[in-house]
Amino acid sequence: MNLRIVCVCMLAGLPLAFTAKAVENAILKSGTEAPTFSLPGLDGNREVLRTWCGTTLLKPHINAKPHTVIVSFWATWCKPCQKEIPELIAFMKNHKNDPVKSFCVSIDKEGASIVDPFIKEKKWDIPILLDPYAKTAERYGVKTVPALFVIAPDGIIYYSATGFDDKTDLTAKLEELYGNITAGKKAASGESHVSGEAVAVPDAPSEPPPEATVAPQPSVSGVPPQARWKAVARVECGESVEKVAGENGVTVDELKKWYQELKKAAMSAWGQKSDQ
């Protein structure tokens, strides 16, 4: 890539597109246990990886059979991602009745406000999860997108790759991998793959200055309910509780109380009792 273009993009804060081989391949490799996550979806539901795969399933009343799980990290500004996702959708259509799940995890900092209209415009029919602070992406070692992980039913990464190669039939590759998994064939440990075009992941929002967490605290009643809900959602998405509390001008304990209040309200609506 032309050095002048790189410099202009960096100064403008724009993501850089390049061949995936041009950057360090830092993503988690095959044979590694997939880090669990709990991320909100555009449909309003929260998805937890251990609901679908792992040696012990988190919610057997929802799902009692270990699934193969495909996770793709992407962003609306990532052109190669826009080529990859339709192939994931095509694969999933072929396996809608099989024990396989697929999640496209957006790292767009704007969250649902930009992702939702984008998905509707594209008419993509695939579960979309939100990771606006890229905390889950960071745990998977994602430095460029798209980044694809195929996780076996036992919760171990079977295949990982960065970049999208126009010359490779991704749907056929996924069919091969899924066939190997269902046949009980073990993957080689310590492998990851790099090919095609990728886009660099921008730096995550910086932490607030130390004084933000010790500033005078207003009463909880001064924060409107909608702001409290957004604060809880940010923490659930992986942002530090200290940062969110500081930006809302409350203590960490008060923020935790908001979570409990929201949980009690939800349980009440569902006719259930919350744990204390």
What are the pLDDT digits (tens) for 15-41? 545 454 444 568 999 999 999 999 999
Using alpha carbons only, give the angle 135, 204, 251 rounded to the nearest 5 degrees: 75
| Range 68-86 average pLDDT | 97
Main-chain dihedrals φ then ψ at residue 71, nearest 5 degrees: -120, 125
Q: What is the pLDDT, as a whole number, of residue 242?
A: 76
Burial label for 30, CB within 10 Å (0-12, 13-18, 19+), is buried
CA distance linking residue 101 with residue 247, whole number of Å: 36
- Cβ atoms of residues 92 and 54 within 8 Å: no
Q: Is CATH 3.30.70 the right assignment for the domain spanning 210-270?
A: no
pLDDT at residue 275, as a whole number? 46
Rg (CA), the chain: 20
- Give residue 12's pLDDT band: very low, low, confident or very high (50, 70, 90): very low
Domain residue spans of the chain: 13-200, 210-270
What's the pLDDT score for residue 136? Answer: 95
Taking the whole predicted model, whether its pTM rises above 0.75 is answered as no
Architecture in CATH for domain 13-200:
3-Layer(aba) Sandwich (3.40)
pLDDT of residue 13: 45
Residues 116-126: what's their mean pLDDT? 96
